Amino acid sequence: MLKTNNWILGVTGGIGAGKTAITAHLQQKGVVVVDADVVAREVVAIGSSGLQAIVDEFGSDILLADGNLDRAKLRTIIFADEQKKQWLNALLHPLIRNALLAQLSAAQSDYVILSAPLLFENGLERYCDATLLIDVAVETQITRTTSRDEVDTEQVERIIAAQMPRAEKQEKADYILDNDRPLAQSLLAADKLHDEFLNLAKEKLIINN
């Protein structure tokens, strides 16, 4: 567990589950959201040590014309070469983890959300007081993602297959929010959970003080 007075809620969900919509709703209530995807981009931003290490390993061809990382090219390389994938993970995982922990510790709100699509896969739940799974059927994931992104069904199925199975995430999560329904209903359910999380955060604060 991360040593902080902040009560931390880990929020996760597979691709197309609607995790962002739920966390954005809670953010509007004043809850700080630390997003693992955002942090993953920050640690390889222009001028970062992470980006320089990648350039040293893969060459300057891995950069776009504006100096940013060419993520599509890097993704193609590491999917084709397991050793390069392991090298990249060994570089990025500690950078991302350290940045996440720093932001979680510094956050100032009644409780803090750690939003991560691979929360359980990367063992990030150990830094959380509780976890919430935004849950939908696999068919819904495919439908939403193919209509939102420029990807076909086969690509989405591969992404889903690479993530932890839905049933396993359901077993691991402390709370599950069914998002396989109209968004307005899901947001009402999120509001009820929010009230519960506020109470749990207050309890932790009292105990620690």
Q: What angle do CA 8, 6, 197 make, to 5 degrees?
A: 50
141 φ/ψ angles, rounded to the nearest 5 degrees: -55, -45
Say if residue 18 carries a ligand binding annotation: yes
Based on its alpha-carbon atoms, the radius of gyration of the chain, rounded to whole angstroms, reads 18
Half-sphere exposure of residue 67: CA atoms within 13 angstroms, side-chain side: 5
Say if residue 137 carries a ligand binding annotation: no
Q: What angle do CA 118, 123, 126 make, to 5 degrees?
A: 125
Say if residue 20 carries a ligand binding annotation: yes
Say if residue 16 carries a ligand binding annotation: yes
Say if residue 192 carries a ligand binding annotation: no
Say if residue 21 carries a ligand binding annotation: yes
How far apart are alpha carbons 156 and 34 in whole angstroms? 25
Binding site members: 16-21
Binding site members for ATP: 16-21
